Structure 1
Amino acid sequence: MADLNVDGMALAPGVVETIISIAAKEVQGVASVGPSGVGGLRSVFASKPSTQGIEVDVDDNDALHVSVRIDVYYGHVLPEVADAVRTAISDAVASQIGIPVGSVDVYIDGIQFAE
């Protein structure tokens, strides 16, 4: 995604994705954000959250459409986790950037067994 302009303010690529990644990871039951196997050592040593597995598009009405891939810990109800991720992302983007979120598609790529 190129620079995103909001009320005369330009956001660099990756800013929105970072906000989305942090919001999703804070949901109980989310093991990781991004494609399975991206975590590992890279996530341990990375200073910034991974934004892999997150896609953001802007429609003609300047609403964001988000697609995010997550892994969930075993034992959590998948539809509930997905719904909580949708809500967390919509709330975080709206409150921190002020851009309406048109949709959030959550793809559960895997289950992890140790929490």
Structure 2
Amino acid sequence: MTDLNVDGMALAPGVVETIVSIAVGEVEGVASVGSSAAGGLRSVFAAKPSTQGIDITVDDEDKLHVAIRVDVYYGYALPDIAAKLRQAVADAVSSQVGAQVGSVDVYIDGMQFAR
């Protein structure tokens, strides 16, 4: 994603991804954003949330299209988690950035059994 301009404010590429990552991490049942296998030690010692597994594009109407890849905990209804993720991401981006979200695609890449 290149710089996003919203109401005369330019946002660097990592800003929106970080907002999305935090919103996703707050949804109950989500174990990790991105592949848990790829996170490794870097994610343990990182100062900010990982934006791996988040892809954001902007269409011709300046709407954001977000794709997120997550691992979830066993025991949660997957359609419910996906719906909560879509809502959390749309709300976070709308309230913190002021941009419209055209779509949020959720990809569940794995499941974890222990908490």
In the superposition, the TM-score normalised over structure 1's length comes to 0.96
- Contact kept, 8 Å, 1:32 with 1:39, in 2: the verdict is no
Q: Which runs of 4+ in 1 moved over 3 A?
A: none
- Contact kept, 8 Å, 1:72 with 1:108, in 2: the verdict is yes
- Contact kept, 8 Å, 1:57 with 1:65, in 2: the verdict is yes
What stretches of structure 1 of length at least 5 have no aligned partner?
none
Mapping for residues 38-57 of structure 1, pairs under 5 Å: 38-57=38-57
CA RMSD of aligned residues (A): 0.9
What stretches of structure 2 of length at least 5 have no aligned partner?
none
Determine the C-alpha separation between the residues in 2 that align with 1:36 and 1:109: 9
- Contact kept, 8 Å, 1:18 with 1:50, in 2: the verdict is yes
Equivalent pairs counted in the alignment come to 115
Q: 1:66 Cα shift?
A: 0.4
Determine the C-alpha separation between the residues in 2 that align with 1:103 and 1:49: 22
Q: 1:114 Cα shift?
A: 1.4
Partner of 1:77: 77
In the superposition, the TM-score normalised over structure 2's length comes to 0.96
Mapping for residues 1-115 of structure 1, pairs under 5 Å: 1-115=1-115
* Letter paired with 1:44: V
Q: 1:46 Cα shift?
A: 0.5
- The structure with the greater share of residues assigned to helix is 2
